[in-house]
Structure 1
């Protein structure tokens, strides 16, 4: 996705708009564009972070331990390296995710905001490899991926070319 810059007035208007309740908007295309830009920027920042810092040592929130513990208690067998969209979007999955997500209301800021999540953690964000999820789903899955070593491949492969340049 090409980055689009907002001027100061547009950024202020967008920030104000994002603080209003969803009912105030209907399907406002400008707001959807601002959300898409914000979600894309978050995705880029996160991908750059796990490519440059060993993900095993990352903390994404102040309550990572609690998120991880509750996630693995509720979703013990969920395969996180390559997600099946049905594990997030089907009606039975939504019924299981809903209480998990609501558990973090008030603990994780903007826990129910929309964000982008990679389906296959060995790959970058692309249209085919990205799904819409809530922020708490993103945190739960990415914290698990970091702690369980799934994101280490990205860090190792990003580090390898730098090591070759340094030794070459």
Structure 2
């Protein structure tokens, strides 16, 4: 009885045991917050890089910059411009896909774009590069196959194109200026 009473009154190691109980959920949520913040930051960098690179399409400078007769080479050059504008190498250019489409009105532009991450797979088969002409409506999209760092349960809810991957999509729509 004396041994049990002494065991109940002892406080040595209680903090270590309590920390051990709380540490796993605490660090899991901490890493989930960091993972989500990094994903949102990368998405914002993608949006801003696409917006800045699209100014070449908006102002007609793209006619002098993307001069190949092969649309795939022009798309690659546009993708490289997006990557060059991204700070600290946040965007992996080998996993970045671009789509530049031309429409006659904004309703068609809204209805003509589909979700490239539908059905849990990344589908970029219909992506192309179309050189905009003056006063045309342009939809420029950049899709990044973003690899999540954590594979534990917090990241599984973020993945939308397979285990450990999420499609980050940036889109900008505008009417090209009346350039000559």
Task: Specify the structure having the higher radius of gyration (Cα).
Answer: 2
TM-score (norm 1): 0.32
Counting strand residues as a fraction of each chain, which structure ranks higher? 2
Counting helix residues as a fraction of each chain, which structure ranks higher? 1
